[in-house]
Every structure is written in C-alpha cells, then in structure tokens.
C-alpha cells in the first residue's frame, strides 16, 4: 500500500517573511504537517490490520482518523504551493473566473477574508472549483475535513488554525489574513483551476 510522504517546502523557511516567520514555517511544516502524514499512514495500517484480523469494531473511528489526517496532509500540501515570496495578482483564466464569479479581485478578497475571519475554532478558508456547476466558490473547512461537498477541487486555501499564525500575530487573525494577500501564488492558483477544468 502506498505511504503518504511529507513534501518539501518549495522555498526556504524564511522566504515568506515578514508576512510569515521562519519559525512558524519550520514548526508548521516539520512538526504539524509531518504529524498529519504520520497519522494518515498509521490509520491506513490500522485499517489494514482490522480488515485482516476480521475485528472491525473500530473501523469507523479509524476511518475518521484517516479522514482527519489525510485532510491535514492534502490541505497543507495545497497551502504551501499557494504561497510565494513574489506575490502578485491573478492573470489569465483565474483572473477571468474571479471577475465573472465574484465581480473582481477586491470583492473576492473581501468574501474570502470574511470566510477566513469567521472560522470558529480550527479550520480553513477555501476557494474551490465546483466540478458539478463549473463555478468558483468559497467555503469554510472545519478542522481538516468537514463542510466541503464532494466534487469541489481546492484552488486556494488559507490555514486559520492558531498554529498557523499565533507566534507572529497572537490573537489578531485579521492581520494574518491581510498579510496573506501579499504572498498568494496566483500562478499556482491559476494552474490548479486549469487542471480542474480539463
Ligand atoms: Mn496547519
């Protein structure tokens, strides 16, 4: 069975400073993301053991563990590539889609910011492509895996778990979200949209 592996960051720990500190990036990638990868592999192993032994008493708990940890692995893998020291603005297909769906970048940013700001407890703000309707849409993602319907491909994700910003911004999540807009890798977001549409 395939094992999940921790991807390298596509830049140095300090590359996103001053918006996100090297210390946060190091802890977030090397400790938090690594723990989700390990948890997903452990859950897979335990599900295989349960199947082999025929003792399926814990199967639903194990599958919930898998969903949570695999969610954490997928979310962080998208998030790292959504960020770049260069920043910039959307161009091409992603720009057109944002203009059409949200009435422009400013309106999209206001909506996404409100989504991120309003996450209760731990979770994410997500811009996704809805395969069913062919629309761009925003969602809150609860914890690592809740509140997203099937058929939505993530394009842009912002981690608003406290571990993502507390060392730099303490309780002021709004400042972290504001800083995030300086380091969005719109090229990556656009490539994800092109892939989702093809
Ligand atoms: Mn995180």
Ligand 1 centre to CA of 73 (Å) is 9
Same domain for 128 and 71, yes or no, is: no
Structural domain includes residue 16: no
Binding site listing for Mn(2+): 28, 76, 159, 163
Query: What DSSP assignment string belongs to 11-69?
Result: S-GGGGTTTS-HHHHHHIIIIIIHHHHHHHHHHHHHHHHHHHHT--TTHHHHHHHHHHH
Same domain for 180 and 121, yes or no, is: yes
Structural domain includes residue 34: yes
Structural domain includes residue 2: no
Ligand 1 centre to CA of 191 (Å) is 23
Q: What is the pLDDT of residues 39-84, one digit of tens each?
A: 999 999 999 999 999 999 999 999 999 999 999 999 999 999 999 9
Same domain for 147 and 126, yes or no, is: yes
| The predicted structure's pLDDT at residue 122 | 97
Model confidence at 101: pLDDT above 90: yes
CATH code of the domain in which 76 resides: 1.10.287.990
Model confidence at 147: pLDDT above 80: yes
Q: Which residues lie across from 153 on neighbouring strands?
A: 129
Model confidence at 20: pLDDT above 90: yes
Same domain for 97 and 186, yes or no, is: yes
Structural domain includes residue 184: yes
Ligand 1 centre to CA of 162 (Å) is 8
Q: What is the pLDDT of residues 153-180, one digit of tens each?
A: 999 999 999 999 999 999 999 999 999 9
Q: What is the pLDDT of residues 103-133, one digit of tens each?
A: 999 999 999 999 999 999 999 999 999 999 9
Structural domain includes residue 1: no
| The predicted structure's pLDDT at residue 89 | 96
Ligand 1 centre to CA of 136 (Å) is 23
Structural domain includes residue 13: no
Ligand 1 centre to CA of 76 (Å) is 6
Same domain for 71 and 104, yes or no, is: no
Mean pLDDT of 131-142: 97
CB atoms inside a 10 Å sphere around CB 104? 13
Same domain for 26 and 71, yes or no, is: yes
Same domain for 151 and 54, yes or no, is: no
Confidence of residue 2 (pLDDT cuts 50, 70, 90): confident
Q: Which domain holds residue 111?
A: 92-197
Ligand 1 centre to CA of 32 (Å) is 6
Question: Total domain count for the chain?
Answer: 2
Same domain for 102 and 56, yes or no, is: no
Structural domain includes residue 11: no
Model confidence at 1: pLDDT above 90: no
CATH code of the domain in which 159 resides: 3.55.40.20
Is 31:57 a contact under the CB 8 Å cutoff? no
Structural domain includes residue 27: yes
| The predicted structure's pLDDT at residue 72 | 98
Same domain for 77 and 96, yes or no, is: no
Ligand 1 centre to CA of 46 (Å) is 24
pTM: 0.96
Same domain for 189 and 111, yes or no, is: yes
CB atoms inside a 10 Å sphere around CB 143? 16
């Amino acid at each position: 069975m395939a094992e999940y592996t921790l991807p390298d960051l596509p830049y140095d720990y300090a590359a996103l400073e001053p918006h996100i500190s090297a210390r946060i990036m190091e802890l977030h990638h090397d400790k938090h993301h690594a723990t989700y990868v390990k948890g997903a592999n452990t859950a897979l192993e335990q599900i295989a053991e349960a199947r082999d032994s025929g003792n399926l008493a814990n199967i639903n708990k194990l599958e919930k563990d898998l969903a949570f940890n695999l969610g954490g692995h997928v979310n962080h893998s998208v998030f790292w590539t959504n960020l770049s020291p260069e920043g910039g603005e959307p161009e091409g297909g992603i720009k057109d889609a944002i203009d059409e769906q949200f009435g422009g970048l400013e309106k999209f940013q206001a909506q996404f910011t409100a989504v991120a700001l309003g996450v209760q407890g731990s979770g994410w703000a997500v811009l996704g492509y809805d395969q069913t309707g062919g629309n761009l849409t925003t969602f809150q993602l609860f914890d690592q895996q809740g509140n997203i319907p099937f058929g939505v491909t993530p394009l842009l994700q912002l981690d608003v778990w406290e571990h993502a910003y507390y060392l730099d911004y303490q309780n002021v999540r709004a400042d972290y979200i504001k800083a995030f807009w300086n380091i969005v890798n719109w090229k990556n977001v656009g490539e994800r949209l092109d892939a989702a549409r093809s």
